[in-house]
Structures are given as structure tokens and as C-alpha cells.
Structure 1
Amino acid sequence: MSKLYTLDNRQFISEASDTLVAVIDGSTIHSVADFYSAISKALHFPDYFGENLDALDEMLYDLDWIEHDHVLLLITNSPQFLQHEEAQRSQIITLIEEIDNPYFEVCFM
């Protein structure tokens, strides 16, 4: 059985699978800027993250600064995630779906 450890009330590390599980509360994401800030904090993006879709694509493809073998991003309260920004929501979800990184997964909850 794997163990989960809480870090900063937002992150968990699964000892058995060497997976970093980061959580973003979708109810707090009202704008694309909110999303970029939240994902940057949750996944400890480097300072050079450009806060745009191209930069997000590069960050999620790479993830070399994370010492765990796998990364799982949980977006809770997903119906509220960018609920008034449908075009941006769609672009972000499409980008996430198309990321070619077998070590990165996202779960909308």
C-alpha cells in the first residue's frame, strides 16, 4: 500500500510510486493568469516560465526540475475551473490532452 505525505496542504508524494501529486482548486481559477500562477506554484515552475500557452507546453513536456519519476496534477472543483472563460479553458484542456509526456498526468475532479 502506498503512503501519501502532505506538503503545504497542496502537494502529496506517493512513496511507493515516486509520484508527485499536486492539487489546484479549480474554484479559485477565474482567469488564465490565476491558472498560470496556480500551476506554476503547484509544479514549482522555474522563474523563466513565460505565462503563455507555448511556455506551458514546454514546462509540461520537460518537468526536469522535479525529482520524482511521475507527476499527477489534480484539478479539483473542475466545473468551476475557468467557467467564465470557455475559450481559454478549452485551449488549456486541449494543450494538456496533447502533452507528449508519459510521466505527466492530469485528473479533473
Structure 2
Amino acid sequence: MSPATDMLARPARAGVYLASAAQLQAAEHAAMAIGFDSWSLDVSNVQTAPSLLRHIGQALRFPAWYGENWDALADCLTDLSWSEAEGFVLAVRGSDALRTAQPELWQTLVDLLNEVSDFWRDNQIAFWVLVEGNTDTLPAFPQSA
């Protein structure tokens, strides 16, 4: 088992973390190896809440009932019954652009993703969000279990 696979398989450690490009790639491969759903989300060209919410829905292949608002996003992310995976990895790329252009929008997204990860951790299911970027406001992805 690779270090990334071992880490991802631990729901108690899941959360929203800063990760390098290499860590994102390793986590995406490890997620597939252990039967997790893995999504890649590039937010580098997103400038508004409506475009961010639409982009997330498309990238994560949300069901048709997704309403493209913050409540609907929280609902979709905490009701993944449409997925049969045993855990989840969301790799976020391009965060620096969004964080710089729209800091409040970025913080709203991070706060919601932390709440979602907490929800799944309470249910003993791993929901990892790995953010590639240069922010020092997120903890670093753990190197070992």
C-alpha cells in the first residue's frame, strides 16, 4: 500500500489540506486504487459565485436536481447516495487565482468544504479536499498516517 493510499483510507484524518501537484496526482491515483470517487476541480478561471457553483456541479457530475446555490452544494456533497464509492477525494487546482481575485468567495467555499469533510468524518467516511496553491491558511496534507 502506498503512503497516499494508506493516508486516504483513514477517514479520521480526512479534511481540507494544502497539497503539492505531486501529492494531488498521487492522491488521485490512490483514490482510484481503493475505490474512492476522485474529482478534479480547476477554479483558476472562476470569478463569481454562480460560475463557481455551476463549475463544481459539472466537475463533480452532480445529479440534475442540483440547484447551483450554496445550500444545494452542501446538500449534494453531504448526500452522495448517487455514488457507490467508499470515500472521496476532491483535487482543487487554480486556487491562487480565485483566492486572490475573490477572497470572500474562496473562504466561503473552504468553509463549506470543511463542514462537508467534518460531516463525512463523523460518519466514518473519508472526504478529502486537497488544494494545490500557495495559501498558508490551510494545513499541509499529512505525510504519514
| Superposition TM-score, scaled by structure 2 size | 0.60
Query: Among the aligned pairs, what percent are the same residue?
Result: 27
2:86 to 46, 69, 84: 69
After TM superposition, list the pairs within 5 Å mapping 1:55-66 onto structure 2: 55-66=72-83
Unpaired stretches in structure 1, ≥5 consecutive residues: 3-11
> Are the counterparts in 2 of residues 75 and 108 from structure 1 also a CA contact under 8 Å?
yes
1:45 corresponds to 2:62: yes
Unpaired stretches in structure 2, ≥5 consecutive residues: 3-27, 133-145
1:26 to 43, 50, 67: 43
Amino acid at match of 2:131: F
> Are the counterparts in 2 of residues 30 and 83 from structure 1 also a CA contact under 8 Å?
no
Matched residue, 1:97: 114
Displacement after TM superposition at 1:57 (Å)? 1.0
Higher strand share: 1
Displacement after TM superposition at 1:67 (Å)? 2.1
Matched residue, 2:130: 107
| Superposition TM-score, scaled by structure 1 size | 0.78
Q: Distance in 2 between matches of 1:24 and 1:34?
A: 13
1:74-106: CA deviation from partner (whole Å, max 9, x where unpaired): 111211125322222211111111111133221
Q: Distance in 2 between matches of 1:101 and 1:26?
A: 23
Tell me how many residue pairs correspond in the alignment.
100
RMSD between superposed Cα atoms in Å: 2.0
If you compute each CA radius of gyration, which structure gives the higher value, 1 or 2? 2
Displacement after TM superposition at 1:38 (Å)? 1.8
Q: Distance in 2 between matches of 1:30 and 1:70?
A: 29
Give the number of the structure with larger relative contact order, counting CA–CA contacts within 8 Å between residues 6 or more apart. Answer: 2
Q: Distance in 1 between matches of 2:99 and 2:51?
A: 9
